[in-house]
Chain A
Amino acid sequence: MTHIDRRKFLGYAAAAGAGLLLTRTHGEGAPGKREKISGEVRIALIGSGAQGQVLMNSCLKIPGVRFQAVCDIWEAYNLRRAQRMLEKFGQKVNAYEDYRQMIAKEKGLDAVLIATPDFWHAPQTVDCLSAGLHVYCEKEMSNTLEGARRMVRAARQTGNLLQIGHQRRSNPRYLHCYRKLIREAKLLGRITTVNGQWNRAVQPDNTWPKGAVIDGAILRKYGFRTMEEFRNWRWYRHLGGGPVVDLGSHQLDIYNWFLDTKPRTIVASGGIDYYDRKTHEWFDSVLATFEYETPQGKVRAFYQTISTNSNQGYSESFMGDQGTLVISESASRGAAYREPTAPEWDRWVSLGYLKAPASEVTKPQTDAVLDVRETLAPPSFELPVKFDDPYHKPHLENFFNAVRGTEKLNCPPEIGYETAVTVLTVNKAAESGKKITVDPREFVA
């Protein structure tokens, strides 16, 4: 029998008690699975480039979130910039080049934000989930379906949360449109057609400051052949999916969401029509049509993404027999237009689902003495929801609240996978030049 003297016993008891006091109110639970936490959420960022900094900027405006570490392979520029910025805001962080080192060394982390090139999403997400961390992964989920599948399965297996960064799913304006206008009010009647576009002006390639070139060995270690590739990975086949994946995934995700289904067929036309093929391996212009089978009937959707002209920017239009809904992440666009034959929308205005139009257009458009035209320009019923925050903030808030157990994820991996299938199939269709029929089972990971 081991004799423990009174002094030692009291010492052990005090240490145990202190340990209990100092840990936050969350348990470790089973290995790989994190329990829900309350209080401050400690996070790390993998990939502090342009998109990573967008996420950082949003997180700094969310109370109860604290950065603990940041990781980027571009130490001389991205990493330093992010670290400096976080310190400015009072968050001293540890900096890493290798994310594996980071998740091994950093204790007390709750979640990780991943904003690296698409081809890294799968391995990083799987590793982080397996390490017991919740993950917010930027879209596109992965540049391959296989990678996306692995992410879904890892989330299932570990039971940790994985949110895919289709931030419109948490945007209050989009939520209002889906829940109130489409589901509840059925404002548009039977939706028959969807249009969407993301027109982007000609852009020079991304560059880098002199004296901040990444060593070739490091580039190669992380899958890049050159600095040019590293900075413009979206255009390279082995790294990204081109504009339709980079941009179209946002909007095609909305198509699927608002129509409550996935496309049945996809036809696409695309080509490298403008940019230098040596540095642009993906299509700079893609035009795709989709067929959706909804309970109300067929919906034909059109989507284009071009990189040579910015006319009309980006938006989605849902057209039904009673009205049209035009919505964009940009707050300057968001209105509904009633078809002349549709019933009045006074009820929805009175319920606050729509703003009353500013004025009916009554002024004659011609110099004719008597204007007997029946068809006037449709009045615009603007959305009543104001949203001035950074675009990604609500989606991140949703993620952190889910981490705290107070909300459900708005874009869990299964939904992200459906979108991944949609957008990656567009590239396939453009490549083949054929109409592709997608089996609904393909949308399940």
Chain B
Amino acid sequence: MKMKRIILIFLFCAFARGETLAQTREDVGDTPDGNRSVPVHLLKLYDEFDHVIRPDDRPLMPFSPKQTCRKCHDYEKIRHGWHFNAADSGARGGRRGEPWILVDPGAATQIPLSYRNWTGTYRPTDLGLSTLDFLKTFGRHLPGGGVGEKDGALKDYMRWQVSGTLEVNCQSCHNADAGQSQAEFGMQVLRQNFRWAAAASSGFATVRGSAGEMPDNYDTYTAVPPEASNLLPPTVSYNTSRMDAAGRVLFNVPRRMPPTQCAFCHSSRVIDPTRPERWEGEEDVHIASGMLCVDCHRNGIDHQMIRGYEGEAELRGQPHVASFTCRGCHLGSSDEPVPLEGRRGAPRPEHLGLPPVHFEKLACTACHSGPWPGGTTYTVKTSRGHALGIPKTDKADDALPQIATPVFAKQADGTFAPHDLLWPAFWGYGRKGYIAPLGPDRIRPLVTLILSRDTTRRIGRWPVLRESEILDVLQQLRERDTTAGDPLYVSGGMMYAIGPAGTLTRLKSDAAEPYGWPIAHDVRPKAQSLGIRGCTDCHATDAPFHFGMVKIASPYVVGSDSLSRMTDYQDVSVVSAWLFSKSFLFRPALKVLIILSFLLIASVVLIQALGGLAHIIRKLASEEE
């Protein structure tokens, strides 16, 4: 009995210790002890099956960021962070942001997609895109994880076996090695080399071949099937000079990541004909002053990165997050027990002569962010929209999608802020107030067929559609499926359908509304903020803020629809805006009149006061006498 008890106690202790060890295994890197130096990341490499990689292995496997990094970091927690959780059920989308934009000129389609529940976007599955389809198109600007680790559609099962899982690539953000190449990561993802992409991007490994070209039954451990022997399977080789005697590699993991890590996915280029060269423009003033993106966009191990918009703190239930907004950093709040504004020496803005109503009506970004507005909006190219940074991407200024910027629109919180704006264009079936969009693959053959009838058409960026062609396509769609609903085409802010008389009818619809997302960068310095030259920067009848014209880019836009006014997006009457702006003409007169009235009234009061004083003096004098 005694022996039994001893054995039981021994087993319990062993189990408990094992459990404890298991619990702390991933906490080693996540629970800092306060030391501010950076732990040296001299690491062994592990493959997806958690086997150590040795330079003489056959075959050489690509290292897995998940298996390599999770030795010290809680990968499970990390993979639900902001950059990875778009498709997680229950993940908060927060303020809407830049969508993925599916463009297919042949299908006259330009449609915003997102796995987040942002109003105005469609889920990729709505267009019949599986997670694999999504990655093949947009994975180039993802840091891995997310849908790359989710169960894909059954039809893609074999392809996922060939490509492997697209794990979170910690290096995308955390490896500051000069050889770390997110462009290479993107290229590998486009080749469907998911298993290999992280290694390829690391700077100390080279990946050749393409999983996308391999047949369905291709296996990493088996040579290429003989019928495909001219194709190159994905293989990895390591620069062994980067490995020490124990096969460990030094990762350059700084405490604060340089902005270039973020820039690959978060770059934009405003097409300004007056400043075509990059050197003619400026970067964000924060970066120019030596700050890093991560100084504001912080997160803990949960990787719930602060986005920095007003209201985010309330949404997250984390009040201190408010101190990372523009206001929080530059203006602070007297409610805080400890002052938090002025982080990193953030200057307190003077805003000389700016009435407080502006802080009520405008977001900080309205005056400080994005390009200085012109009479007509510019076109902007973004990393995610235009595959910036990927070799051989289309560098033309008019490459699709065409996004307008800056558009001063009203946000959900009622303030005006600059936005990037995209007009959706897509075909679909409408039923009970909802439009089910058609994926480009389904509609392209039909559109191409109908457009090809006009052999004189020059297809540029857009196949500019004629009314008769739209009608043709809609009629064909109706014939193909009479049960799916009414065939519709959305373009240029309007929806088109077949009218009762068989002609094309224009309708207004929420689905046709442009999709806009607020922009916060690049932040311009004080001397280049709106209002620096006076009120008429915005309050003039030719000022772009209210009266700028917004270009509508879409395959079918009726002449007068090609431009719209800024006030259309501001919930403001153009008449009242015009009147108010006009009143600034009389401001000088107003000032003069009020000054004169003040002086006059003050003189009258002074005279009376002096009279009263004289009376008191006389009274005192008479009493004395």
Where the two chains meet, the residues of A that have a C-beta atom closer than 8 Å to any C-beta of B are 49-50, 53-54, 57, 77, 81, 85, 88-89, 198-201, 203-211, 231, 246-247, 310, 313-314, 329-330, 390-391
Q: Once the chains are docked, how many angstroms separate the CA of A391 from the CA of B226?
A: 13
In the complex, chain B residues 213-257 whose Cβ is within 8 Å of any chain A Cβ: 216-217, 219, 221-227, 229-230
Closest to A329 in B: B227
B222 cross-chain contacts in A, Cβ below 8 A: 49-50, 206, 231
Q: Is B154 an interface residue (CB 8 A)?
A: yes
In this assembly, does B484 line the interface, its C-beta being within 8 Å of a C-beta of chain A? no
Q: How far is the CA of A77 from the CA of B57 in the complex (A)?
A: 18
Report chain A residues within 8 Å CB of B154. 88-89
Closest chain A residue to B57 by CB distance? A210
Q: How far is the CB of A87 from chain B (nearest CB, A)?
A: 11
Are the C-beta atoms of A314 and B157 separated by less than 8 Å?
A: no
Q: Chain A nearest CB: distance from B214 CB in Å?
A: 12
Asked if residues B223 and A206 are in contact (CB atoms below 8 Å), the reply is yes
Q: Which of B59, B161, B225 contacts A204 (CB 8 A)?
A: B59
Question: Hey, which chain A residues are within 8 Å of B217, CB to CB?
Answer: 50, 53-54, 57
CA A85 to CA B219, docked complex, whole Å: 14
Is B58 interfacial (CB-CB < 8 Å)?
A: yes
Interface residues of B in 348-369 (CB under 8 A from A): none
Q: Check A205 against B51 for contact (C-beta < 8 Å).
A: no
CB proximity to A under 8 Å, residues B38-56: 47, 49, 51
B223 touches A198 (CB 8 A): no
A200 in complex: contacting residue of B58, B59, B157, B226, CB < 8 Å: B226
Q: B157–A207 contact, CB under 8 A?
A: no
Within 8 A of A (CB), among B57-78: 57-59, 61
CB-contact partner of B227 in A88, A209, A314, under 8 A? A314
Interface residues of B (CB under 8 A from A): 47, 49, 51, 57-59, 61, 154, 157-158, 161, 216-217, 219, 221-227, 229-230
Q: Is the CB of B157 within 8 A of A209?
A: no
Query: Could you tell me the distance between the alpha carbons of A101 and B548 in the complex, rounded to whole angstroms?
Result: 80
Instruction: Assess whether A203 is in contact with B161, with CB atoms less than 8 Å apart.
Output: no
Residue in A206, A209, A313, A390 whose CB lies within 8 Å of B49? A209
Contact A314 B226 (CB under 8 A): yes
Alpha-carbon distance between A204 and B224 when the two chains are bound, in angstroms? 9
Main SS of chain A's interface residues?
loop
29 CB-based A-B contacts, threshold 8 Å? A49-B222, A50-B219, A50-B222, A53-B219, A77-B221, A81-B161, A85-B157, A85-B158, A85-B161, A198-B226, A200-B229, A201-B224, A201-B229, A201-B230, A204-B59, A205-B223, A206-B223, A207-B58, A207-B59, A207-B221, A209-B61, A210-B57, A211-B49, A247-B226, A310-B230, A313-B230, A329-B227, A390-B216, A391-B227
Q: Is the CB of B51 within 8 A of A50?
A: no
Given A57-B216, A206-B222, 8 additional A-B pairs, CB 8 A: A50-B217, A53-B217, A54-B217, A88-B157, A200-B226, A210-B51, A313-B227, A390-B216
Residue numbers in A under 8 Å from B219 (CB-CB): 50, 53
Shortest Cβ gap from B56 to chain A (Å): 12
A203 CA to B209 CA, complexed, in Å = 13
Residue pairs across A and B with CB atoms within 8 Å: the count is 67
How many Å lie between the Cα of A156 and that of B225 in the bound state? 33
Residues on A with C-beta less than 8 A from B51 are 209-211
For A85, A200, A390, the residue with the greatest tally of chain B CB atoms inside 10 Å of its CB is: A200
7 closest A-B pairs by CB: A203-B223, A310-B230, A200-B229, A210-B51, A201-B229, A53-B217, A54-B217
A279 to chain B, nearest CB (A): 12
Q: Which residues of A contact B157 (CB under 8 A)?
A: 85, 88-89
Contacts of A201 in B (CB 8 A): 224, 229-230
Q: How far is the CA of A430 from the CA of B296 in the complex (A)?
A: 74
Contact of B227 with A57 in the complex, beta carbons under 8 Å = no
> For the complex, what is the distance from the CA of A31 to the CA of B219, rounded to whole Å?
40
Asked if A203 and B221 sit within 8 Å, CB to CB, the answer is: no
Instruction: Provide the bound-state CA to CA distance between A81 and B161, in Å.
Output: 9
Please give the distance in Å from B237's CB to the nearest CB on chain A: 12
The reply to whether A209 and B221 form a contact with Cβ atoms under 8 Å apart is yes
Q: Pick from B49, B58, B59, B217 the residue with the most CB of A within 10 Å.
A: B217
A200 to B223, CA, bound (A): 11
Q: Which residues of B contact A314 (CB under 8 A)?
A: 226-227
Given contacts A50-B222, A204-B59, contact A210 B229 (CB under 8 A): no
- Give chain A nearest CB distance to B42 CB in angstroms: 22
In the complex, what residues of A have CB within 8 A of residue B216's CB?
Answer: 57, 390
Question: What CA separation (Å) do A206 and B225 show in the bound complex?
Answer: 11
Interface centre among A53, A231, A246, A390 (most CB of B within 10 A): A53
Bound-state Cα–Cα, A205 to B224, Å: 10
A152 vs chain B, min Cβ distance (A): 27
Name the CB-closest residue of B to A85.
Answer: B157
Give the CA-CA distance A370 to B221 in the complex, in Å: 59
Q: How far is the CB of A82 from chain B (nearest CB, A)?
A: 11
A320 to chain B, nearest CB (A): 27
Question: What chain A residues lie within 8 Å of B61 (beta carbons)?
Answer: 209
Residue of A nearest to B51 (CB): A210
Q: Could you tell me the distance between the alpha carbons of A200 and B224 in the complex, rounded to whole angstroms?
A: 10
Complex CA gap A88/B158 in Å reads 10
Q: Which residue of B lies closest to A88 (CB)?
A: B157
In the complex, how many angstroms separate the beta carbon of A201 from the nearest chain B beta carbon? 5
Contacts of A246 in B (CB 8 A): 226
**Contact residues in B for A313 (Cβ distance below 8 Å):** 227, 229-230
- Which residues of chain B have C-beta atoms less than 8 A from A208's C-beta? 221
A329 to B228 CA separation, bound complex (whole angstroms): 11
Question: What residues on B are CB-neighbors of A329 within 8 Å?
Answer: 227
Complex Cα–Cα for A289 and B559 (A): 73
A203 touching B227, Cβ below 8 Å = no
A209 and B161 alpha carbons, distance in the complex (Å): 15
Q: Do B225 and A50 touch (CB < 8 A)?
A: yes
Q: How far is the CA of A244 from the CA of B216 in the complex (A)?
A: 25
| Chain A residues with CB under 8 A of B47 | 210
Closest chain B CB from A42 CB (angstroms): 21
- In the bound assembly, the distance between CA atoms of A81 and B157 in angstroms comes to 12
From B52, which residue of chain A is reached at the shortest CB distance? A210
Bound together, the chains give a CA A54 to CA B161 distance in angstroms of 13
Query: How far apart are the CA atoms of A264 and B154 in the complex, in Å?
Result: 50
Complex CA distance for A198 and B161, rounded to whole angstroms: 27
Q: Most chain-A CB neighbours within 10 Å: which of B49, B161, B216, B229? A: B229
Chain A residues within an 8 Å CB radius of B158? 57, 85
A403, B219: Cα distance in complex, Å: 31
A205 to B58, CA, bound (A): 9
B53 CB to closest chain A CB (Å) equals 9
CA distance A81 to B217 in the complex (A): 11
Residue ID in chain B nearest A198 by CB atoms: B226
> Which chain B residue lies CB-closest to A52?
B217
Output the nearest chain A residue to B235 by Cβ-Cβ distance.
A204
Residue of A nearest to B151 (CB): A88
A330 adjacent to B230 (CB under 8 Å): no
> Which residues of the partner chain B approach A50 to less than 8 Å between Cβ atoms?
217, 219, 222, 225
